[in-house]
Amino acid sequence: MIGFHEFISEFNDALSRCESMAIFARCEIVYSGRAESQLLSGDRMLLIKSDKSMLIHQPTGSAPVNWMKEDSDYALDIEGDSLMLRVRNLPLKEYLDIKIEEIYSFSRQKLEDGQKIIITGSERDMSDMILENPELIEKGFKPLSREEHTKYGFIDVFGYDANNVLVVIEAKRYSADFKAVSQLRRYVEKVRKSKGLEKVRGILAAPQISANAEKMLHDFGFEYRKISPPKYMERFHKKQSNLNFFSDKKDSKNHD
Amino acid sequence: MIGFHEFISEFNDALSRCESMAIFARCEIVYSGRAESQLLSGDRMLLIKSDKSMLIHQPTGSAPVNWMKEDSDYALDIEGDSLMLRVRNLPLKEYLDIKIEEIYSFSRQKLEDGQKIIITGSERDMSDMILENPELIEKGFKPLSREEHTKYGFIDVFGYDANNVLVVIEAKRYSADFKAVSQLRRYVEKVRKSKGLEKVRGILAAPQISANAEKMLHDFGFEYRKISPPKYMERFHKKQSNLNFFSDKKDSKNHD
DNA sequence: GGGGAGAGATGCCGC
DNA sequence: GCGGCATTTCTCCCC
């Protein structure tokens, strides 16, 4: 438990040094901006980052209950028994008011991190895989070099089949739904119109598809290919299982 | 700075008591599950919640760089100069390995929070507003009681115009895009087919619409209405600007 | 800055 | 659990 006066001093000092902060506190919260929200009194974790963004987490769930974007302004004032923390982002017209009733703990730290996460197994990797292995779609499929931003739109993969009919492919890394079919439909219609072609094939590539989406797909005359996104690191790990840090990962992967 | 042995003991005790934790540390991270990722050494904030979910934040940005869902398992082991924190969610087949090089600070706290956030200004509030004020769409519009899950789909608002022509309305709280138009199109087509009607009107209600989306909208013969989501609390605050922090919140439920 | 689309999206609700 | 959809989505990339 930390007194408000000591906290105010520490908080403002940390803020001026662009340190990151973690606060455990009981508080009530009101947000006003893109929407409006209220959250009555309870225990939460408040994070303030070096970029002056803020996140508030309840003790459960993976999404923050309230937050403010970077470059927000912070002001602390004691009001009666409580400490008001007012967070403002004037350019975005967003306001967060936190009535802090009790502070359980406070940590501050200057954090240095120049690293950027590298992710594999995304939809992009999936279309790369299709480009490199066109037979995943069908024998004789000839993909054109992928053009995300053609005049036809943001098409994942684009090519010709064995009969030189144009093929538009939409890849989804997860179970394909109505939205994926609608998207494919929009692209196919665009290409048909732009090229003045009657026949353009549409193919949805995904590990799964919902029954409704598949029905809609067939109604439009499109096709489904069951294809899963690649996991490059996993493959790498299986090949090279003798490394230090990563080796344990690998072993832990061998749960299947 | 905290020693690994002391940390292990504190961490495991906190875990067994379902406390929440905040850790500032330098670490490397590897994730494997729905996708795969790696993040080289840097300073981060690690949160572990009462529900045994985990969030890892870099010093900037509002989204976590890595995370694990609730009910994950945690295991700590000293390996050479580092402390390995292995997080596992076996049912989801997700694995997170954190190589902790240095711990700057550690906080733990039992958090109690039974409150649920109340949000206004959502799309749902928008369709409620249209139901209560049908003239926002046009003179003579008669909304039917809203049925989110009709056999026609999850239609926002549904009604008849002055000439008893069926009207399907899709509301968007933000600037409407291609996806919104596609969605409206899908609903209109569904209703046309289900009811065997030639003429069903489609209206997109949103505060804004992109030029491309508006063109597509008109190509399909649909219409746009410029309507913004309501902000009940804001209206209330303007009327009653002399209350203390919380009285407004409570009454803000009586928004209309 | 807006538009368009993916995300390890998350969360909610309904079946 | 899956399906369908909104989200104060967030993030990225391109124009």
Domain boundary among A84, A109, A134: A109
pLDDT exceeds cutoff 60 at A240: no
Average pLDDT value over all residues in chain B? 90
For chain A, give the longest Cα–Cα distance: 79
- What chain B residue is nearest to A28 in terms of C-alpha separation? B246
> B139 and B247 share a domain?
yes
Tell which phi-psi region holds residue B111, choosing left (phi > 0), alpha (psi between -120 and 50) or beta. Answer: beta
In-domain check, residue B184 = yes
The model's pLDDT over B93-143, given as tens digits with 9 standing for 90+, comes to 999 999 999 999 999 999 999 999 999 999 999 999 999 999 999 999 999
The verdict on residue B40 lying in a domain is yes
Same domain, B89 and B139: no
Residues B146, B149, B154, CA angle at the centre, nearest 5°? 85
Q: Are B182 and B147 in contact (CB under 8 A)?
A: no
Inside any domain, residue B116: no
Residues B127 and B202 in one domain: yes
Q: pLDDT category, A144, cuts 50, 70, 90? A: confident
Local confidence band at A234 (pLDDT 50, 70, 90 cut-offs): low
CA angle A66, A72, A73 (to 5 degrees): 115
Q: Do B142 and B245 belong to one domain?
A: yes
Question: Within this chain, do residues B98 and B131 fall inside the same structural domain, yes or no?
Answer: no
Mean pLDDT computed over B188-210: 95
A114 belongs to a structural domain: no
Domain that holds residue A192: 123-255
Closest to A95 measured CA to CA, from A32, A28, A27: A32
- B88 beta partners: B73, B95
B36 lies in the same domain as B143: no
Q: How far is the CA of A121 from the C1' of D11 (A)?
A: 17
Q: Does A84 fall in a domain?
A: yes
pLDDT (tens digit, 9 = 90+) per residue, B141-194?
Answer: 999 867 666 777 788 999 999 999 999 999 999 999 999 999 999 999 999 998
* Chain A CB contacts of B34 below 8 Å: 121
Q: Which of A33, A27, A52 is nearest to B245 (CA)?
A: A27
CA–C1' span, A172 to C6, in Å? Answer: 9
Q: What is the pLDDT of residues A184-213, one digit of tens each?
A: 999 999 999 988 999 999 999 999 999 999
Residue of A nearest to B121 (CA): A35
> Pick from B109, B137, B152: which residue ends a domain?
B109
Confidence of residue B239 (pLDDT cuts 50, 70, 90): very low
Mean pLDDT of A180-187: 96
Residue B248 lies in a domain: yes
Check if residue A123 sits with its Cβ under 7 angstroms from strand C.
yes
| DSSP-based three-state secondary structure for A236 | helix
Q: Are residues B23 and B94 in the same domain?
A: yes
Q: Which of B115, B173, B90 is nearest to A61 (CA)?
A: B115
| Same domain assignment for residues A132 and A217 | yes
Residue A117 within a domain: no
Check residues B236 and B26 and name the one with the higher pLDDT. Answer: B26
Q: Where are the alpha helices (DSSP H) in A17-166?
A: 123-132
Which chain B residues have a beta carbon less than 8 Å from that of A55?
57, 62
d(CA B44, CA B25): 6
Q: Find all residues with CB under 8 Å of B190, minimum gap 6, and list them.
A: B152, B153
State the residue for tokens 């730290």.
Answer: A109
List, in order, residues 6 or more apart from B160 with CB less than 8 Å away.
Answer: B141, B142, B144, B166, B167
Residue of A nearest to B236 (CA): A36
Is the pLDDT at A60 greater than 90? The verdict is yes
- Provide residues 112-171 of A with CB closer than 7 Å to any strand D atom: 148-149
Among A197, A203, A218, A214, CA closest to A156: A203
Q: Are residues A213 and A151 in the same domain?
A: yes
Chain B CB contacts of A35 under 8 Å are: 119-122, 173, 229, 231
The reply to whether B148 Cβ lies less than 7 angstroms from strand C is yes
Per-residue exposure over A62-97, b if at least 16 CB sit within 10 Å of its own CB, e if not: bebbbbbbeebebebeeeeebbbbebbbeeeebbbb
User: Averaged over B63-81, what is the pLDDT?
Assistant: 97
What amino acid is encoded at A53 in this protein?
S
Quote the minimal CA–CA distance from B15 to chain A in Å: 13
Rounded to the nearest 5 degrees, what angle is found at the Cα of B58, between the Cα atoms of B55 and B60? 120
Q: End of a domain among B77, B109, B141? A: B109
Q: Are A96 and A184 in the same domain?
A: no
pLDDT classification of B233: cutoffs 50, 70, 90: low
Do A58 and A159 belong together in one domain?
A: no
Helix axes A178-195, A211-219, angle to 10 degrees: 20
Partner residue facing A249 (CB), from B97, B182, B249: B97
**Domain co-membership, A163 together with A217:** yes
Provide the domain count of chain B. 2
CATH of the domain at A202: 3.40.1350.10
For the cut 60, the answer to whether the pLDDT of residue A90 exceeds it is yes
- pLDDT at position B234, please? 58
Q: How does pLDDT run across A74-88, given as a tens digit for each residue? A: 999 999 999 999 999
Identify the CATH number of the domain in which residue A72 sits: 2.70.180.20
Long-range pairs, B11-18, Cβ under 8 A, ≥24: B11/B74, B11/B76, B11/B106, B12/B76, B14/B48, B14/B108, B15/B48, B15/B52, B15/B74, B17/B110, B18/B50, B18/B52, B18/B110
Its sign, for the CA torsion A173, A176, A177, A179, is positive
- Does the predicted TM-score (pTM) go above 0.85? yes
